[in-house]
Chain A
Amino acid sequence: MRYIDYMQLNPFQKFGYHFANFFKKLPSNLARFFKFLGRAIVRFFVAIGKGFAGYGKRFVKGDIFVKLSYLIFGVSNIVRGQIIKGCLFILVEVGYILFMINFAWQYISKINVTGYKIENGQQIDLPNSLGYVAKTETLSADGFSYVPEFHDDSMLILLYSVLTIVITVIVFAIYIANTKSAYKVYEAKKNGEAIPGFKAEIKSFLDEKFHITLMSIPCLLIGCFTVLPLIFMILIAFTTYDKSHLPPGNLFQWAGLSNFGELVNFAGGEAKAHTFLELAEWTVVWAILATFSNYICGMIVALMINKKGIKLKALWRTLFVVVVAVPQFVSLLLMAQILAENGGALNQLIELITGNKEPINFLGGNWFTARVVVVIVNIWVGIPYTILITSGILMNIPADLYESATIDGAGPVKSFTKITLPYMLFVTTPYLITTFIGNINNFNVIYLLTGGGPFTNPDYYNAGYTDILVTWLFNLTMGEKQDYKLAAAIGILVFIVCATLSLITFNMTKSAKDEEAFS
């Protein structure tokens, strides 16, 4: 379509055009995404190759001290007068070696071995396990019972192995920095340039290298408490870690893809696969309902508040915004109590109005009622957010659009569906998709309202009718089942869906922008 044609479309047609385009271009967008991914990987390896080339070049070109620095950190720096810096390098090396010998090796050497445990006097072999010996037993003094003795803890072995890998990567980076620094001072010395002292180096961390100063502590925190646990949990998905493999006393083993296999084996008639399929369906339905009900209702209310001639705008807005301001857990716990079967305020209200003495069990009875109620309560919680966010954008819709629509005889409903909705959809698509992803992960509303119940379906594996995937994940780990491996596998699948959605949106908005600029 030429630009001039595009300009003549009304907003709704424009949106339709983009919408159709999105699906038309989906294959090519996906292809572009994978091409981009491929190129990124190639670039990554090229960078590594270049790194190694530089690494070798520095080794060949440098003098004996530079070469020595490749074995013992910091030698070149010390010889050329950067004593403190050199000593710090050596300290890192010594520290790392001590850490490996005294601590890390006893864990990382047991990461994938054939272990065994002794139970009731019998030895059970455990192939591909993390750790050699789980449990041995000695006959107690009276000779009738066994006293267990625990040895390797698979949990700690996995955790510390991941930690060791992370630390090794960091030390490797320092090692490379060391070789670079060694060569740099060598060159500086050779060319007769001044070698910066320790103070000058420190000062550079407040100026040219300020980003390192700023980033190091947050990166360290994120590395320790986000990346490391993430790697750990991802690895858990490939093991047999659950209630029957709890350390101490048990080792867990590497299980390959079997956890994912259990989840997607729909034909096998397994409870897990069945539950996964049903909950995934409900999660998608829930996310769509929750996102669009909030979006459309919120926008209508925002339009009403902002309509010309409506007075007390601040009052109306505050009425709704207060609900956002109250902590979500308070309002949700309160709602759960108001909807309760016994002594719930809503049932009292219904009795007051209709005289109906039979209390309705909103959240724990019929599964369909429970789901509808959850969506409605979510509207109560969510509309104020939409009002907050869309108010500003709604004000930006040119007023003459509405005026001309009114002159042409359009009623309020028609101008909403023909002007407001297309315009808003066009502007806020990224926001919508973020909200959609947020709703897929919307733990609070489900957990605090129903806890996943009603738990009336015996075919479900540890789940209720309103459970979405993330609350199921939570119940699997924190509840009775303690099925950690399955929870980790679900987490990974949810992540893949969310990440794909985000990346496609990212691509889409980018392509939409490009289109506006160039076509």
Chain B
Amino acid sequence: MIKSYKLRRGLANTFIYIILAVLGLIWISPLVYLIIQSFSADPEAIPQTLLPASFGFDNYIKLFQETDSLNFPRWYLNTFVIACFSCVISTISVLMVAYAFSRLRFKSRKKFINIGMILGMFPGFMTMIAIYYLLKAMQILDLKSIFGIPGFDGTILALIICYSSGAGLGFQISKGFFDTIPRALDEAATIDGATRNQIFWKIILPMSKPIVVYTVLTSFIGPWTDFILAKIIAGDKIDNYTVAIGLQKMIDNDHKNAWFKRFLAGSVLVAVPVTILFLKMQNYYVEGVTAGGVKG
């Protein structure tokens, strides 16, 4: 009896191993294809076979050398600058709002939380189009250079503003985290004469490393992965693209035949750092999402 049970379990497990292996293969193979083909040194512009016949770094080198029509290094730099700035601004504003909602008690606090929730329900890019006109009317998009830094022009500033301005609405996850820190700590500090400002900097922030890391990483990754907002804001200014729209540009009808393999190489260059950051963030991610989602 026991033997047959063991056998049955063994069979079931083998079956599951097979399914997992097949599924894992299906899931990972497009990415493997991406990486392998990006190292292809075949003469054809679009790969004709599943595996390339010869390998080399040609696509990567061309990506960085031939920058006349599509300037990938420039896009990469753009995205990096935007990501850094918006990461700092977003993190600060998210933490500030979350702390205020979680630890401070003031009039119409609940109303503010509800308004924040309702604002989050509008389809995001309904406002994006209006933001575009707003920025145009404010003449931010026409600025040639900011602080005299070459290349740091209106579009980049506009994108930084767009990515970081709405960040305060994403306070829920951080608020949930702050809520778990015992209030007795605050009270003790208050008795010792600390102001709320000091409590924020000296007690709450040092205890909230996971959520700070989480917020920093999400807001840093945002500009690398966002597609639609950048497309609306940057429009036809090819030099001001971020990597997302730039890569899409590489495979539109005009460019695909010449740029397809460089698109693959560029995708790898974008995907690798983001993937590493994401895997670092994964644990925080799970905590944050389940806390926000399941509590309702």
Interface residues of A (CB under 8 A from B): 155-156, 159-160, 203, 206-208, 210-211, 213-215, 217-219, 221-222, 224-230, 232-233, 236, 301, 304-305, 307, 309-310, 316, 318-331, 333-335, 337-338, 342-343, 345, 348-349, 352, 380, 383-384, 388-389, 391-393, 412, 427-431, 434, 437, 441, 443-444, 447-448, 470, 473-474, 477-478, 484, 487-488, 491, 494-495, 498-499, 502, 505-506, 509-510
Contacts and interface: CB of A to CB of B under 8 A. Distances in A.
A320 B16 contact: no
A427 B293 CA distance: 10
B149 interface: no
A331 B30 contact: yes
A491 B123 contact: yes
B48 to A, nearest CB: 7
A428 B275 CA distance: 27
B294 to A, nearest CB: 6
Given A233-B129, A326-B31, A443-B228, A207 B118 contact: no
B282 to A, nearest CB: 7
B290 A389 contact: yes
Contacts of A434: 293
Task: Say what secondary structure dominates the interface of chain A.
Answer: helix
A232 B130 contact: yes
- Please classify the interface of chain B as helix (H, G, I), strand (E, B), loop, or mixed, using the class held by over half of its residues: helix
A159 B134 contact: yes
Contacts of A309: 9, 13
B251 interface: yes
Interface stretch (B53-61, B67-75, B158-166, B177-185): B158-166
Nearest to A153: B137
Given A218-B96, A329-B248, A388-B286, A343 B47 contact: yes
B232 A392 contact: no
Nearest to B287: A392
B176 interface: no
B98 to A, nearest CB: 9
B161 to A, nearest CB: 6
Interface string B139-175: 0000000000000000000000110111111000000
Given A334-B34, A494-B123, A222 B169 contact: yes
B31 A323 contact: yes
B125 interface: yes
A-B pairs, 7 with minimum CB distance: A218-B168, A229-B130, A325-B278, A225-B165, A491-B126, A206-B197, A430-B296
Interface of B: 9, 12-13, 16-17, 19-20, 23-24, 26-28, 30-31, 33-34, 46-50, 93, 96-97, 99-100, 104, 106, 109, 112, 117-119, 121-131, 133-134, 137, 161-162, 164-169, 195-197, 200, 221, 224-225, 227-228, 231-232, 244, 247-248, 251, 260, 263-264, 267, 270-271, 274-275, 278-279, 282, 285-286, 289-290, 293-296
B275 A322 contact: yes
Given A215-B112, A325-B274, A333-B247, A233 B130 contact: yes
A92 B228 CA distance: 38
A510 B124 CA distance: 27
Contact of A301 (B23, B30, B97): B23
B16 A310 contact: yes
Contacts of B100: 210-211, 214-215
B123 A495 contact: yes
A224 B158 CA distance: 13
A210 B199 CA distance: 11
9 contacts: A221-B93, A229-B127, A304-B20, A323-B27, A325-B275, A329-B248, A388-B286, A502-B121, A509-B296
Contacts of B106: 211
Contacts of A156: 137
B121 A384 contact: no
Q: Which of B104, B123, B227 has most A Cβ within 10 Å?
A: B123
B30 A233 contact: no
A334 B20 CA distance: 23
Q: Which residue, of B168, B274, B282, has the highest number of chain A Cβ atoms within 10 A?
A: B168
A221 B24 CA distance: 44
Given A225-B161, A322-B275, A388-B285, A304 B16 contact: yes
A329 B247 contact: yes
B126 A473 contact: yes
Contact of A326 (B125, B134, B275): B275
B294 A159 contact: no
B16 A210 contact: no
A325 B264 CA distance: 17
A218 B97 contact: yes
B17 A310 contact: yes
B125 A470 contact: yes
A159 B169 CA distance: 23
A352 B50 CA distance: 9
Contacts of B13: 307, 309-310
Contacts of B12: 412
Contacts of B244: 327, 329
A393 B31 contact: no
Contacts of A437: 121
Nearest to A216: B96
Contacts of A233: 126-127, 129-130
B175 to A, nearest CB: 12
B166 A506 contact: no
Contacts of B164: 221
Given A321-B279, A325-B274, 5 more contacts: A207-B196, A217-B93, A230-B119, A334-B34, A494-B123
Given A217-B93, A233-B126, A333-B267, A226 B169 contact: yes
A221 B30 contact: no
Nearest to A44: B111
Contacts of B118: 499
B196 A330 contact: no
A288 to B, nearest CB: 18
B134 A389 contact: no
B96 A330 contact: no
A304 B24 CA distance: 12
B228 A474 contact: yes
Nearest to B224: A327
A333 B251 contact: yes
A428 B274 CA distance: 28
Contact of B49 (A333, A348, A389, A484): A348
Contacts of B49: 348
B290 A392 contact: yes
